Amino acid sequence: MMNGSTGSRNHVNGKQAQSVDSPRPSMLNNGPKHRPLTTFRRCRGVLCLVIMLLTAFMMMVYLAPVTTFLLRFFSVHYSRKWTCFMFGMWLAMFPFLFEKINRTRFVFSGESVPPKECVLLFANHRTEVDWMYLWDLALRKGRLQSIKYILKKSLMKLPVFNWAFHIIEFIPVERNWEIDEPLIRSRLSGLRNPKDPLWLAVFPEGTDYTEKKCLKSQEYAAEHGLPILKNVLLPKIKGFNCCLQELRSSLDAVYDITIAYKHRLPTFLDNLYGVDPSEVHIHAEIIQVSDIPTSEDEVSDWLTERFRLKDELLSDFLKLGHFPNEGTEEDLSTFKCLANFVAVISMSSFFMYLTLFSSVWFKVFVVCSASFLTLATCYSIHMPQLICLPEVGSHAKKS
């Protein structure tokens, strides 16, 4: 799961604590699956996973040495641009799986967010796959290649996927603020180039929602005079405030995202097999950066209030079955999804042919590339820019 914030919660005084209630059964992973797990769905899910892994492997071992490392010597901007373009093509296969193959219904509500260049998104963390559904929103806005996450460092142990997390510059954290703060600030300072679009997604709760965590969060709130939240956990402030501080001068907007599911909370395997969820509801609200306070204590109060409003929004969702002002985004184009899928499969198949049936030097290249990617990921190596491209140099002189 992705975690967008680390560090302790700030105390908020002067707020009367409410009684601690158990989470509602409908908020938890109860009830039957939306679709039965048949042999066909299981086989199709395994096939989808194999396709995802093979295409990711082939695209990265052949393209990453050029786009992510060689080109970066000349221009960090163009290196990111081409790396993220290729990554966005591969990543677009997940919304294709969710919406076109699994037939999961996505319902967008609230405000229709514009495709801003530099955005900080924060969302509630209901389940281990919330972060994947943000791809469906980003794809509709043409920003799928620009989305980045702060994630648990343990996820950097996932084979193949850890290469992708590294080359597209996700930020791994250890949940130790003394270690995480300088890393987050350093990484974000390198992502503030106005020529590089950025959608940074954070989950201030720091972990996904469970009954045990909810009760613990409510007990903490009762002890410190904070709002008792039933549908979300109390947000942690330090990581979110750090991101806000580092990016505030370059942010175009902040998007407050609330995610809810019909009937049952999905898992990664539910997504893979297509048995859940039946519906994903994503509610968006645009917040102007100037409306967000600057001091950490005030940001703490502000963020806690935002999550109190999220809690009310989710309570209303449980009663009504929907968020207000639905229909803010159109459905994905089936033709475009298929065209992208064919392009990724064709490219990967060509690379696979070169590896298996062409010169032995392609096999040597794949081994060397995979070894280099593993080394770079393990030691978090990002190549420096050593030579300026002519157009970059001339631009710098003019400015």
Q: Residue 149's domain is classified under what CATH number?
A: 3.40.1130
Is pLDDT of 158 > 80?
A: yes
As a whole number, mean pLDDT of residues 81-97 equals: 94
> What is the Cα–Cα distance from 146 to 397, expressed in whole angstroms?
28
Tell me, what's the pLDDT at 26? 47
> What is the Cα–Cα distance from 159 to 157, expressed in whole angstroms?
6
Is pLDDT of 123 > 60?
A: yes
Average pLDDT, the chain: 89
C-alpha of 290 from chain center: 25
Q: 345 lies in a domain?
A: no
Tell me, what's the pLDDT at 29? 53
Rounded to 5 degrees, what are φ and ψ at 271? -65, -45
Tell me, what's the pLDDT at 155? 84
> What is the Cα–Cα distance from 3 to 158, expressed in whole angstroms?
16
Total domain count, the chain = 1
The torsion of the CA quartet 158, 266, 90, 99, rounded to 10 degrees, works out to 170
- Asked if residues 298 and 12 have their Cβ atoms less than 8 Å apart, the reply is no
As a whole number, mean pLDDT of residues 104-121 equals: 94
> What is the Cα–Cα distance from 197 to 178, expressed in whole angstroms?
29
Tell me, what's the pLDDT at 398? 39
- Domain region containing 289: 25-49+81-338
Task: Note the pTM of the prediction, 2 decimals.
Answer: 0.89
Summarize pLDDT for 346-385 with one digit per residue, the tens.
999 999 999 999 999 999 999 999 999 999 999 888 888 7
Q: 256 lies in a domain?
A: yes
Is pLDDT of 1 > 60?
A: no
- Asked if residues 197 and 119 have their Cβ atoms less than 8 Å apart, the reply is no
Is pLDDT of 133 > 80?
A: yes
Is pLDDT of 392 > 50?
A: no
As a whole number, mean pLDDT of residues 33-62 equals: 95
Tell me, what's the pLDDT at 173? 92
Is pLDDT of 18 > 80?
A: no
The torsion of the CA quartet 188, 192, 198, 201, rounded to 10 degrees, works out to 30
Summarize pLDDT for 159-187 with one digit per residue, the tens.
899 999 999 999 999 989 999 999 999 99
Q: 173 lies in a domain?
A: yes
Q: 19 lies in a domain?
A: no
DSSP 8-state symbol, 166: H
Q: How sure is the predictor about 7, in pLDDT bands with cuts at 50, 70 and 90?
A: low
Q: Which of 2-6, 167-171, 207-211, 316-320 has the lowest mean pLDDT?
A: 2-6
- Pairs from 316-321 (Cβ < 8 Å, separation ≥ 24): 317/260, 317/281, 318/24, 318/26, 318/27, 318/231, 321/262
As a whole number, mean pLDDT of residues 38-56 equals: 96
Task: Give the ranges where the chain is alpha helix by DSSP (H).
Answer: 39-64, 76-91, 93-95, 130-140, 161-167, 177-189, 211-223, 238-247, 268-273, 296-320, 334-357, 360-378, 390-398
Q: 15 lies in a domain?
A: no
Q: 42 lies in a domain?
A: yes
| Number of other residues whose CB lies within 10 A of the CB of residue 346 | 10
Summarize pLDDT for 246-268 with one digit per residue, the tens.
999 999 999 999 999 988 889 99
Tell me the β-bridge partners of 109: 283, 326
CA 257 vs CA 6, 111, 124, 254: distances in Å: 19, 10, 7, 10
Tell me, what's the pLDDT at 217? 93
CA angle 156, 369, 366 (to 5 degrees): 120
Q: How sure is the predictor about 233, in pLDDT bands with cuts at 50, 70 and 90?
A: very high
Q: Mark 184-216 as b/e (b = at least 16 C-beta within 10 Å).
A: beebbeebeeeebbbbbbbbbbbbbbbeebbee
If we measure between CA atoms, which residue out of 105, 116, 45 comes closest to residue 280? 105
Q: 365 lies in a domain?
A: no
As a whole number, mean pLDDT of residues 10-36 equals: 58
Tell me, what's the pLDDT at 113? 93
Is pLDDT of 74 > 70?
A: yes
Token duo for residue 254: 């902040």
Q: Classify 379 as helix, strand or coil.
A: coil
Is pLDDT of 16 > 60?
A: no
